[in-house]
Amino acid sequence: MNFDVILVRYGELTTKGKNRSDFIRILIDNIKNKLKEYETQYKLKKEFDRLFIELLDPTVSEVIINIVKNIFGSSSLSLAKRVECDLTAIGDCMIALVQHYQPDTFKLEVRRSDKTFPLTSTEIKQQLAPKILKQTNVKVDVRHPTLQIDVEIRRGFTYVFINKIKTIGGLPVGISGRGLVMLSGGIDSPVAAFLMMKRGMSVEYLHFATPPYTTNDALKKVQTLVQKLDCYTDQTQQRLHVIDFVMLQHELMHIPDPTYRITIMRRMFYRIANLLAIKLNCQAIITGESLGQVASQTIESINVINNVSTLPVLRPVLCFDKNDIIDIAIKIDTYQTSILPFEDCCNLFVPKNPVTKPRLKQAEFQEQNLMWQEIIDIIIKKNIKTYLIGRDDVYEES
């Protein structure tokens, strides 16, 4: 059966006040970006509590649903038939649905958004349900129906639908500013990126590589993770910034106390991330740190490492245990890529017994004779490669 409309419900956006129109505008922009390939096959119609995607070509309904359900900012959607606000037309549409799907039982729900319609929701149900019972063999079951038919009477048209497809929820990406994700290639940081996008933040990605210690396969792994996250973004392409960290990594081998090596390395990561984020007009750094998971993620380590950041550091998985994070990674299809056995620079240079309760003054002492400032200046000027990444392609930005 061909449906002609996809009905999108706003969800959390309906709780917004005077700025609701800003949230809806960004949601619509994101949908248009993601549906650019199909722009001649649909039209968008906005109402106060609904968004309607009018299908000019019903054959693309499934592909459009699969795209839109992963765009943050809605709570659910339904394929619907649009008919006149007339009980005969509505009843004929409902009977056609029952005859097509041939359920044993059905339930009817009516929502009358247009209060000028002469009958109440209950009265509409009382007139429509007997028509189905008389013209089909289906029975009523209000608790466990085989088929639920929903009718929404709105000003101008009525929408009849049978399914509610749960969408990804959250806020439209772009409403909450921009953040720079420190993407390691492990399980946690892609999940952190996903969760920040769910709260409406646009993201760019930063990855530290140390060739030849890290291979091209490790870089491809990170690029694939960005591609996996593409369906949740507000753009048709994402930017991955890859920094050659090897010069600074060699310099860090000269610190007096090797147990502080991972602490100092992450302080350098944060310094570089801050400089790049400001350059990219990002307002925050995003990491996949989970409290107590490894030596550099104890509260003492987080305090010492965070000390060098002038921008807020957002840690959306901070209170998640590993199984929680893995569950989300599986859901968003990043897990199998994250566990590929290609090492990142953190794993390669971790000392045997890293300090778990570093002290700030001791960390500053470890850094004082290093040429880190000069090397960071060189890195920011010369050692950054930027890749533009879409769902199916990766190429270096000129």
- Asked whether residue 389 is assigned to any structural domain, the reply reads yes
Backbone φ and ψ for 171, nearest 5 degrees, come out as -110, 150
Same-domain status, 384 and 341:
yes
What pLDDT band is residue 344 in, cutting at 50, 70 and 90? low
Q: Check whether 14 has a pLDDT greater than 80.
A: no
Percent of the chain scored above 70 by pLDDT?
Answer: 97
Percent of the chain scored above 90 by pLDDT?
Answer: 82
Mean pLDDT of 96-117: 94
CA–CA separation, 316 vs 286, rounded Å? 8
Backbone φ and ψ for 27, nearest 5 degrees, come out as -60, -45
Same-domain status, 106 and 186:
no
- Positive or negative, the Cα torsion across 95, 101, 106, 108? negative
Per residue in 44-103, pLDDT (tens digit) is 999 878 899 999 999 999 999 999 999 999 999 999 999 999 999 999 999 999 999 999
Q: 3-state DSSP call for residue 69?
A: coil
DSSP type of residue 281: T
Per residue in 119-133, pLDDT (tens digit) is 999 999 999 999 999
Per residue in 193-228, pLDDT (tens digit) is 999 999 999 999 999 998 888 888 999 999 999 999
pLDDT at 348: 57
Query: To which H or E segment does residue 248 belong?
Result: helix 246-252
CA–CA separation, 365 vs 257, rounded Å? 10
Per residue in 178-187, pLDDT (tens digit) is 999 999 999 9
Residue 57 exposed, middle or buried by CB count within 10 Å (0-12, 13-18, 19+): exposed
Same-domain status, 194 and 151:
no
- Asked whether residue 285 is assigned to any structural domain, the reply reads yes
Domain housing 58: 5-166
Number of domains in the chain: 2
CATH value at residue 224? 3.40.50.620
C-alpha distances in angstroms, 9 versus 147, 153, 157? 21, 15, 17
Mean pLDDT of 14-24: 80
Mean pLDDT of 40-45: 95
- Asked whether residue 171 is assigned to any structural domain, the reply reads no
Mean pLDDT of 239-245: 95
CA–CA separation, 74 vs 267, rounded Å? 38
Q: Which residues contact 146 (CB under 8 A, 6 or more apart)?
A: 103, 104, 105, 106
Same-domain status, 49 and 192:
no
pLDDT at 398: 65
pLDDT at 293: 86
Same-domain status, 77 and 113:
yes
Mean pLDDT of 257-272: 95
- Asked whether residue 130 is assigned to any structural domain, the reply reads yes
Mean pLDDT of 100-115: 94
